[in-house]
Structure 1
Amino acid sequence: MKNRFNFVLAATALAGSVLFAACNSNSKKSSADNTAATADTLAKAGSGLTLPSGFSANVLAKNLGGTRHIAVSPQGDIFVKLGKTKDGKGILVLHENNGKAEVKNSFGDFGGTGIYIKSGYLYASSDEGVFRYKLNDKNEVIDQSKPETVVKGLISRNEHEAKAIVLDDAGNLYVNIGAYSNSCQVKDREKGSMGQPGCPILDSAGGIWQFKADKLNQTYKDGVRYATGLRNVVGLDWNKQNNQLFVMQHGRDALHDIFPDMFTTKESANLPAECMYAIKKGDNAGWPYIYFNQDINKKILSPEYGGDGKKDGDPTNKYISPAAAYPAHLAPDGLLFYTGDQFPEKYKNGAFIAFHGSWNRAPEPQAGYFVVFQPFKNGKADGKWEVFADGFSGSAENTAKGNAVRRPCGLAQGPDGSLYVTDDSKGTIYKISYKK
């Protein structure tokens, strides 16, 4: 089937941002139907965001720094991970009162991305490891100066270094270790350079590693390579409906730049898909040997490994297929399965995805900078995705040029069922709520 998408001007006074309307890989709706469905649901929000009717967004805090992932305690305290330390601290604790959130305190001498509350601990990641802090019965950190080291020594080579994390209900910790490469070439991102045989990067990166959540000072030898063939994952979450890990992969770049005789600039802008994968232990998603072409719903052999843009990349079906696919280069940085009761029933157990936005679609317009909703049914992606929150970039012109004012990154569900969204450009925290 063919995946189609158009640029649509959302008719709002506050944000005339360009919306990507598209079908995922298992949808057969026309692009016109998809566009209408998206545009008809958008309503103005005082925060500058556009949202479906009945929803509102409140700006809780601004200018916090590069806010990455976020966790909200049952008591409503907001823990925010900073990509880089601010005033020497990498974790902020905010308390919400009367529609605003003030910084209560900050701690942790490391930047990074991951943060998660589980079983009486706050877990947080740097680019090289994972730490945890013991919580009291109010889910407050007992001793902010003494984190325990859960995992250390993870590879970080200044490319795809973010260590996103999630925990399951069986005492396991899952850590993304992104590949320090675009497509495992002998010379990274160099025109005509072919892929390294066997891609040695996959020994220590390019996948999800599983560790014990309660064991300290673990290294690679203590963990398990849970899944491989994943170029880089920043958004991941545990789907409680089917007790399974789901991840969002950042697809490879530069098809035209590296192989200009095989791919046009337009093809390079529109391929490959950003993919959602449902992961089981031992799965292989195929990077760097294949990529997923969402237009024809097919795994294609990468040109670095003998492909020509058309060759079947998986004739023996040894690589898993995406659970859902999205337009290229939109950078999915946050994934959250919604389990609350505040939002309408259609959202229950579905997935919210924060797309950070593209930088590499030129000369085509850039795109993304929004939060989308992916419907689920019985633990599987079901039906077309839709834009849920847009306007982060500030304008349609900002979106097209890639000059977004704000870029959504982290997602969390509050105890009342509200949705929290971080922005790692200006350090804004949004709270999205629904009222009938």
Structure 2
Amino acid sequence: MAKPRNNALAWGVWILFFWFSFSSITLAQPVCDPDNGGLTLPQGFCALVVADKVGKARHLTIAANGDVLVAINATQSSPGGILALRDTTGDGVADLKKRFGNGSGDDVEFHDGYLYFATLDTIVRYPWRSGDLEPAEPAETIVEKLPAAASHQAKSIAFGAKGDLYVNIGSPSNACQQQDRVAGSPGKDPCDELATRAGIWRFDGRQPNQQQQDGNRFATGLRNTLALALRPQDGQLYGVIHGRDQLNLWPQFNDSQNAEKPSEELVRIQENNDFGWPYCYHDPALNQKVLAPEYGGDGKTVGRCQKKQDPLLAFPAHWAPEGLLFYAGKQFPEQYRGGAFITFHGSWNRAPLPQEGYNVVFAPFTGKEPTGEWEVFADGFAGQRKSPRAAEHRPMGIAEGPDGSLYISDDQGGRIYRIFYRP
């Protein structure tokens, strides 16, 4: 006599068969663009455009399911806020978009079940449910009334292992002069701007309704550190500092020297570090920090700068570092793991030399230290002309997807790129 058939098992097999058959027909696999979205990449890498013309896309983060969350800078035609992007077909291109929040956004990060959003003067968080594309509840204010006058208003954020919230608060001036960016104007000594600006402040990321005085100044002398990230391989905070401008306001520096100095600095940021701004800058030719002309420097004198924190790695002047990511995925080859990807927004004051930057650089690490070498990883963002107004795209934020691919935002053309390794 035949055995009774297990109907539940049979139905399950048929359901799985039809699901896989249907999925293979309807869900495409991401295919890189024939021109890689205009990018030049190392051999074995390719890119596609996830979304285009989304507004002034600043920093971004990627959810566990692959959704892309982007902080949008406010303009006359846009209130800013957050843009959420989802690919529902599997081809890598976002076909579902949601906007929420407001304010001129610069950074957005997931942490401990919340989506944190940094505007010019406020940091809020939204409770976030896995798989959602927008928050179910209103934002809760974590820090408010941060200083945002004058220059370097944007705030970037990073999280420590114990819920510490690190916030970059950039300087309101170029070099803390009595008259900002005026030839021959001496620097204020001591620089009163350091009390509330040009440093990294630490807050409790879980405590609502804080103001600047409720946090503490974790490190100082950092002119502007929008490229800010915790390195998962060692749990340390790192940043890449925007160096000062316009050394050629002083007679001891010519235009060519101004174009090549000072360095943009990759630094490890530890509590109570002082990196020297505005009194000092890093000279790439001398490979050391020297006294700024506003404080009596002649381009060689070290003076008080002897005691300031040196960089781990120095990059060319005025490239404008904006985003920092330490690669933790497994998609890219072994040599990329633990290394630093840095987005450079591009220069404006390297004349008479050509403007430079507008690219993404990779700096490998061995253990806890950079090797000292670096290379341009991705180029071609600017198109035919590398200048702030003429560039087609300018790389801004950088994030790693759950599959190990890289996402890069562009706040000039509003483009989101995704880079794969496919040898």
Output the TM-score relative to the length of structure 1. Answer: 0.86
Aligned-CA RMSD value: 1.5
Alignment: residue pair count: 387
Within 5 Å, give how 1:55-204 maps onto structure 2. Answer: 55-84=45-74, 87-96=78-87, 97=89, 98-138=91-131, 140-143=133-136, 146-204=138-196
Match of 2:281 in 1: 291
Q: Structure 1 residue runs of 4+, over 6 Å off? A: none
Letter of the 1:431 partner, please give it: R
Q: What is the aligned counterpart of 1:360 among 321, 335, 349?
A: 349
Q: Give the Cα separation in 1 of the matches to 2:135 and 2:319.
A: 39
Q: Give the Cα separation in 2 of the matches to 1:297 and 1:357.
A: 22
Match of 2:337 in 1: 348
Letter of the 1:93 partner, please give it: A
Per-residue deviation, 1:197: 1.3
Please say if residues 367 and 402 of structure 1, whose CA atoms lie closer than 8 Å, have aligned partners that are also in contact: no
Per-residue deviation, 1:141: 4.1
Please say if residues 302 and 313 of structure 1, whose CA atoms lie closer than 8 Å, have aligned partners that are also in contact: no
SS of aligned partner of 1:268: helix
Per-residue deviation, 1:364: 1.7
Match of 2:20 in 1: none
Larger Cα-atom Rg: 2
Q: Give the Cα separation in 1 of the matches to 2:228 and 2:188.
A: 28
Please say if residues 411 and 419 of structure 1, whose CA atoms lie closer than 8 Å, have aligned partners that are also in contact: yes
Match of 1:426 in 2: 413
Question: When you count strand as a share of all residues, which structure comes out higher?
Answer: 1
Per-residue deviation, 1:402: 6.6
Per-residue deviation, 1:400: 6.5
Q: Give the Cα separation in 2 of the matches to 1:245 and 1:95.
A: 30
1:415 and 2:394 matched: no
* Closer, same or farther: CA 143–89 of 1 in aligned 2, 3 Å: farther
SS of aligned partner of 1:100: coil
Q: Give the Cα separation in 2 of the matches to 1:62 and 1:274.
A: 29
Q: What stretches of structure 2 of length at least 5 have no aligned partner?
A: 1-33
Match of 2:309 in 1: 320
Per-residue deviation, 1:202: 0.3
* Closer, same or farther: CA 127–410 of 1 in aligned 2, 3 Å: same
Please say if residues 74 and 103 of structure 2, whose CA atoms lie closer than 8 Å, have aligned partners that are also in contact: yes
Q: Give the Cα separation in 2 of the matches to 1:87 and 1:294.
A: 40
Per-residue deviation, 1:294: 1.1
Please say if residues 71 and 80 of structure 2, whose CA atoms lie closer than 8 Å, have aligned partners that are also in contact: no
SS of aligned partner of 1:420: strand
Per-residue deviation, 1:112: 2.0
Per-residue deviation, 1:138: 3.0
Tell which deviates more after alignment, 77-86 or 91-100. 77-86
Which structure has more relative contact order (CA 8 Å, sep 6+)? It is: 1
1:216 and 2:208 matched: yes
Tell which deviates more after alignment, 385-394 or 97-106. 97-106
Q: What stretches of structure 1 of length at least 5 have no aligned partner?
A: 1-43
Q: Give the Cα separation in 1 of the matches to 2:365 and 2:136.
A: 40
Please say if residues 98 and 134 of structure 2, whose CA atoms lie closer than 8 Å, have aligned partners that are also in contact: no
* Closer, same or farther: CA 401–110 of 1 in aligned 2, 3 Å: closer
What is the percentage of aligned positions where both structures have the same residue? 45
Match of 1:53 in 2: 43
Match of 2:386 in 1: 399
Letter of the 1:237 partner, please give it: A
* Closer, same or farther: CA 115–313 of 1 in aligned 2, 3 Å: farther
Per-residue deviation, 1:66: 0.4
Q: Give the Cα separation in 1 of the matches to 2:373 and 2:303.
A: 25
Please say if residues 118 and 156 of structure 2, whose CA atoms lie closer than 8 Å, have aligned partners that are also in contact: yes
Q: Give the Cα separation in 1 of the matches to 2:49 and 2:135.
A: 29
1:270-297 deviation line (CA, Å, top 9, x unaligned): 0000001101011000000000001111
